[in-house]
């Protein structure tokens, strides 16, 4: 009888230990992402102050976030290797014309080699201010751009009024 009691006690401790380990594993699994889960990288959202940035346009003009304060401006981010960017670039130019924006306040940031960016700008962006950057350049990095195309409307006070993946979703700048 003593052997049977000892076996039941050992089995009870083994089951209790198993339950504790199982609960620990479940807790750890709940704190981890599901397999195959896709997480969007951090990005700026409407209502936040646009971080300071510095860039030089293809025409040699120096741009900075603080230098653009006082009037609304629009930023469009394109990549020379993005087929969707080629579709949206003419719409971006049309948006600037429709909204009667000063071309110097409509900035196209084109990711790619300087030659590719210049060719892209000449073909699709006309008179807009163009900043050519290598992948992950300083303007795209400071504004947390992780996908292309991406469009930002910035209010005169430097607050981000809109962040959109398509030009058609941009608000009229007269309301900004």
Count up the domains in the chain and report the number: 2
- pTM of the complete model: 0.75
Strands 73-79 and 150-154: antiparallel
10-residue mean pLDDT series, the chain (176 residues): 86 88 83 61 82 90 90 93 92 92 92 90 90 90 91 93 91 72
Q: Do 3 and 85 fall within a single domain?
A: no
Domain assignment present for residue 79? The answer is yes
Residue 7: domain span: 1-38
Q: Do 64 and 2 fall within a single domain?
A: no
CB 53 within 8 A of CB 139: yes
Q: Do 59 and 83 fall within a single domain?
A: yes
Q: Do 13 and 79 fall within a single domain?
A: no
Q: Do 29 and 91 fall within a single domain?
A: no
Question: What's the pLDDT score for residue 42?
Answer: 67
Q: Do 20 and 66 fall within a single domain?
A: no
Domain assignment present for residue 60? The answer is yes
Domain assignment present for residue 44? The answer is no
CB 130 within 8 A of CB 121: yes
Domain assignment present for residue 48? The answer is no
Q: Give the CATH number for residue 124.
A: 3.40.30.10
Q: Do 1 and 67 fall within a single domain?
A: no
Q: What span, in angstroms and rounded, lies between the C-alpha atoms of 172 and 7?
A: 78
Q: Do 86 and 153 fall within a single domain?
A: yes
Question: What's the pLDDT score for residue 174?
Answer: 67
Domain assignment present for residue 8? The answer is yes
Strands 129-133 and 62-64: unpaired
């Amino acid at each position: 009888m003593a052997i049977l009691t000892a076996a039941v006690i050992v089995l009870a401790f083994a089951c209790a230990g198993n339950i504790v380990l199982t609960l620990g594993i479940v807790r750890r699994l709940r704190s981890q992402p599901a397999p195959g889960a896709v997480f969007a990288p951090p990005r700026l959202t409407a209502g936040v102050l646009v971080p300071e940035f510095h860039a030089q346009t293809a025409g040699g003009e120096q741009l900075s976030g603080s230098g653009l304060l006082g009037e609304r401006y629009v930023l469009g981010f394109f990549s020379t290797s993005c087929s969707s960017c080629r579709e949206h670039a003419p719409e971006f130019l049309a948006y600037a014309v429709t909204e009667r924006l000063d071309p110097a306040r409509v900035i196209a940031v084109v990711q790619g080699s300087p030659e590719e960016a210049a060719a892209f700008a000449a073909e699709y962006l006309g008179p807009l201010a163009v900043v050519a950057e290598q992948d992950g350049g300083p303007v795209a990095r400071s504004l947390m751009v992780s996908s292309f195309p991406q469009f930002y409307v910035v209010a005169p006070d430097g607050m981000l009024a809109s962040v959109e993946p398509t030009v058609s979703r941009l608000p009229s700048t007269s309301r900004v």
